[in-house]
Amino acid sequence: MRILTVAADRPGACPTIGSALLEAPDGATVAIAAGTYAETLELTGRRVTLQAEAGATVVLDGTGADWPTLRTVDGELTVRGLEIRAGDNLAVSADRTTVTLEQCTVTSKTRPAISVHASTAFTVDRCTVTGAETGIVVEGASGRILDTTVREISGDGIVVALGSDPLVRGCTVTACGGRGIYVYQYSRPEITDTEIAHTGTEGIGVAHGSTPVLRRVTVHDTRGSGIAFAPGCGGTVEGCRTDNTGQPAILVPDGAEVEVIERASVRPADKGGPLEEFLAELDGMVGLPGVKAEVRALVDEIQVNEWRRAAGLSVGAVSHHLIFAGAPGTGKTTVARLYGKLLKSLGVLPQGSFTEVSRRDLVGQYIGHTAEKTATVFEQSLGGVLFIDEAYTLSRSAGTGGDFGQEAIDALVKLMEDHRDEIAIIVAGYTAEMTDFLAANPGLGSRFSKTIEFENYSADELLLITDRMVAGGDYLLDPAAANPLTAYFDRIAHGANFGNAREARRLVEGMRKAQSQRLRSLGRMPTTDELRSLLADDVLVAAGP
């Protein structure tokens, strides 16, 4: 694969992104050094990747142009880590293109920030879209909008039109003058695990024969109804919640065929959230009795402190920063995500968002760069949880470039003190190594309120985890597979690199491959039951000798 570098002041590099694209063959990657590039790009029939160099802040600035900042037609385009700005036009326009935007910030003023038209596959992943007339417009296209924030939009946040059927998952749409999401013209999106808030009209509007599927969507603080269907529309509303919306919270008029499952509960406006739901989700995790007890104790303490504060009683300073100690694959990341949701439900954190980083996201390449990177990640995580995995690799005694890692630790200590009530930081890693990490700065240990130990899963617990993974993939596990599964987990449980639930995930993948080989050898089309069944023989093949 050809890689071209763009850097205005680097000998041998291309001075502009446009000049690099003129040289780039199909399939090439254009790696862009830090800087602001006052360019607009139009790609027709091209297959390229544009990405920021590691740790670089790259701005593609088309604010002075009368045409889109980035336009792609009839090609394949991937853009990673860029900030794309437009003035009075589109920031990103994709027509009949397989386009992927990852970890980008996209801004516009009087036009949509992102427009995708007639594309068979597109992805907007972990992006921030802001300041536009419309955030994202999808017309006649299939694709995914994942873990993306759309905010401060003068009109509608996301518009799905012309029969589009994208997946919208894990997104936040807030501060929109119009609707949070507008679905019309016979579109069929699936919108799941998404939060919509502070809209000038409906949270979600559905019109013109559209049939969306809405699952576990939270809509709150909207001037119009939380979810509003027009006559002639259909779809499903499952497990959704509304809070402080216009009435009715869910509008299903005569002539609309909408299935409402577990109709959203409508609560008066308050600082609470679905606390019990999140605690039930915690309780539903396999094993971890000690972890569950510790988290519940924290929730109890925070809740009582809030009651005391409301009653005018004194409340001591409480740190929400935690240490998660234990081996990989023991549920640390999952519990950290839930912890953020719990803190939001209790009114402690405004966002409850979750940001996961490791050493490479915090440590720079030269003195001073690390503090800047660390501060940027920290500021982007304010209002939610910042989860630092394998945090011990930042200490001087671990890895290479230890002094730069120490710079990240020192910066974190100061930031945690300056913003103690605005964020929850969770550091995670092996128990022994985390002790070394805490010794890296004299003030570090005092910033964390508690260490929660995550024990290894037992063979029986891993069997249950495996069963859930199998069921989640629409498979059935033959009861006869239980014995070889348990024997496998017993055999590997004491190995130096034992990965707990990761071992279960790897084994399930191996079982699926073994089943595929077994079914292909039948010489006929398998039955539905055969396609779903994972047998003991599949376990033995996946487990190996």
Q: What are the tens digits of pLDDT across the range 247-256?
A: 999 999 999 9
Task: Provide the 3-class DSSP secondary structure of residue 157.
Answer: coil
Instruction: Give the model confidence (pLDDT) of 471-487 as tens digits.
Output: 878 888 888 888 888 88
**What integer is the mean pLDDT of 127-149?**
95
Which of 119, 167, 154, 156 lies closest to 139 in space, CA to CA?
119
Q: How many CA atoms lie within 13 A of 330 on its CB side?
A: 24
Q: Which residues touch 347 (CB under 8 Å, ≥6 apart)?
A: 271, 272, 306
Edge-first strand listing for the sheet containing 354-357: 354-357, 385-388, 424-429, 322-326, 450-454
Regarding predicted confidence, which is higher, 402 or 224?
Answer: 224
Q: ∠312-314-319 over CA atoms, to 5°?
A: 125
Predicted confidence at residue 316, as pLDDT, reads 65
pLDDT computed for residue 201 by the predictor: 96
| Cα 201 to Cα 16: distance, rounded to the nearest angstrom | 43
Whether 401 shows a pLDDT value over 50: the answer reads: no
Question: Using alpha carbons only, how large is the chain's radius of gyration in Å?
Answer: 25
Q: Dihedral angle at the C-alpha atoms of 402, 403, 406, 408, nearest 10 degrees?
A: -100
Give the model's pLDDT for residue 408.
Answer: 83
Q: Say which amino acid occupies 502.
A: R
Per-residue pLDDT at 271 = 40
Q: Where are the domains of the chain?
A: 1-133, 275-454, 459-543
The better pLDDT of the pair 311, 142 is held by 142
pLDDT tens per residue, range 150-178: 999 999 999 999 999 999 999 999 999 99
Put residue 420 in one of left, alpha, beta given phi > 0 → left and psi -120 to 50 → alpha: alpha
Mean of pLDDT values over 500-514: 86
Neighbours of 321 (CB within 10 A): 19
Q: Give the torsion sign (CA, 415, 271, 181, 132).
A: negative
Whether 275-454 shares its CATH topology with 459-543 is answered no
Query: How far is the C-alpha of 159 from the C-alpha of 439, rounded, in Å?
Result: 51
CA distance 459 to 492: 10
d(CA 128, CA 108): 12
Q: Report the alpha-carbon distance of residue 186 to residue 210 in Å, rounded.
A: 4
Find tokens 């909207």 and name the residue: 222
Q: Tell me the average pLDDT across 87-116.
A: 95
- Using alpha carbons, select from 512, 505, 521 the residue that is nearest to residue 477: 512
Map tokens 């699952």 to a residue.
215
- Residues 126-138 have a mean pLDDT of 96
Q: What is the mean pLDDT of residues 15-21?
A: 96
β-strand pairing of 322-326 with 58-62: unpaired
Residue 228 vs residues 222, 237, 266: alpha-carbon distances, Å: 12, 11, 15
Instruction: Please give the residue that has the higher pLDDT: either 193 or 498.
Output: 193
Q: Indicate whether 296 pLDDT > 60.
A: yes
- Provide the 3-class DSSP secondary structure of residue 519: helix
- For residue 232, the tally of other CB atoms under 10 A from its CB is 15
pTM here is: 0.53
What pLDDT shows up at residue 127? 95
pLDDT of residue 539: 87
- Tell me the C-alpha distance between 518 and 521, whole Å: 5
- CB–CB of 349/423 below 8 Å? yes
pLDDT band at residue 366 using 50, 70 and 90 as cut-offs: low
Residue 405 identity: G
CB 297 within 8 A of CB 369: no
DSSP assignment string, 461-504: HHHHHHHHHHHHTT-EE-GGGHHHHHHHHHHHTTSTT--THHHH
User: Are 175 and 154 spatial neighbours (Cβ–Cβ below 8 Å)?
Assistant: no
Q: What pLDDT is attached to residue 262?
A: 62
- Model confidence at 435, pLDDT cuts 50, 70, 90, reads confident
- Three-state DSSP at 401 gives coil
141-166: string of b/e by CB count within 10 Å (b at 16+)? bbbbbbbbbbbbbbbbbbbbbbebbb
Q: CA 96, 97, 99: angle at the middle one, nearest 5?
A: 145
The answer to whether 179 and 210 have CB atoms below 8 angstroms apart is no
> Is 504 in contact with 466 (CB distance < 8 Å)?
yes
Beta carbons of 344 and 351 less than 8 angstroms apart? yes
pLDDT at 53 exceeding the cut of 60: yes
- pLDDT tens for residues 253-274? 999 999 998 643 333 333 444 6
Tell me what pLDDT residue 270 has. Answer: 37
pLDDT of residue 329: 83
d(CA 331, CA 499): 11
Q: Which of residues 277 and 35 earns the better pLDDT score?
A: 35
Q: Say yes or no to pLDDT of 181 above 50.
A: yes
Q: What is the band of 367 on the pLDDT scale with cuts at 50, 70, 90?
A: low
Question: Per the structure block, which two tokens stand in for 302?
Answer: 């925070």
55 three-class SS: coil
**Mean pLDDT across the stretch 483-498?**
75
Whether omega for the bond prior to residue 248 falls within 30 degrees of 0, making it cis, is yes
* Distance in angstroms (rounded) separating the CA atoms of residues 322 and 449: 6
For domain 459-543, the CATH class is mainly alpha
Write out the two tokens for 306.
């809030």
- For domain 275-454, give the CATH number: 3.40.50.300
* Three-state helix/strand/coil letters over 270-338: CCCCCHHHHHHHHHCCCCCHHHHHHHHHHHHHHHHHHHHHHCCCCCCCCCCCEEEEECCCCCHHHHHHH
Q: Which phi and psi angles does 323 have, rounded to 5°?
A: -115, 125
Closest to 113 in 3D by CA, of 133, 97, 98: 133
Per-residue pLDDT, 289: 85
Average pLDDT over residues 269-293: 73
